Amino acid sequence: MSPPTEILLATRNPGKVREIRQASSSCGLVWRSLNEFPGLPPAGEDGATFAENARRKALHYAAATGLPTLADDSGLEVDCLNGAPGVQSARYAGEPPDDAANNRKLIAALAGIPLEKRTARFGCAMALAWGGQVLVETEGAIAGLIIDVPRGNNGFGYDPHFYLPQYGRTMAELTPAEKNAISHRGQALRALLARLALGSR
């Protein structure tokens, strides 16, 4: 299979689109987003895992547009909350998705829990679909701790509350290049591009 040069990103989240474009800037790919296709019916995202949701979204939007489609499903899993918010990360506080409301709910749920017990991870699953089948699937994860007071202005979602002890910073305090080098999404994307033989272009 010849690797595609134009790929649809199955998201309307500008943060995800920006990160993926930055992380793959040397690969010669043209990334399109769902914002260019406003009339498309949404894909179902009621799977039990990130991987299941990624597959569903990739297949759905590839069929709807005829374009090779990369879907990423990702989120935050907090150990002391039994893995919540998990697959509900984007809509943890309800509809419509609201980062600030999600973060408020998260910090309220962790009230009284000491920092050392607030272990968490960001997980990401990616799936590339085309021609009615899933061609490539990859995953990535990064561990950290959840802090009460947000720090940093980069990133999006739960990034300001996701503290990385080994760096002494939150995900939102990293530069885009630093985040892409270590993040769950960066890991999954690099693995996917390598599978497509695009990693060194």
Domains and CATH numbers, the chain: 6-195 (3.90.950.10)
Average pLDDT, rounded, for the chain:
92
| Backbone dihedral angles phi then psi of residue 18, each to the nearest 5 degrees | -60, -45
pLDDT tens per residue, range 11-51 = 988 888 888 888 888 888 889 999 999 889 999 888 999 99
Cα separation values, 121 from 13, 143, 163, 183, Å: 20, 4, 10, 10
What is the model's pLDDT at position 199? 46
Catalytic entry in 72, 73, 79, 148: 73
- Prediction pTM value: 0.88
In angstroms, the CA 71 to CA 44 distance is 12
pLDDT tens per residue, range 75-124 = 999 999 999 999 999 999 999 989 999 999 999 999 999 999 999 999 99
Average pLDDT over residues 154-177: 95
User: Residues 146, 118: contact at Cβ < 8 Å?
Assistant: yes
79 in active site: no
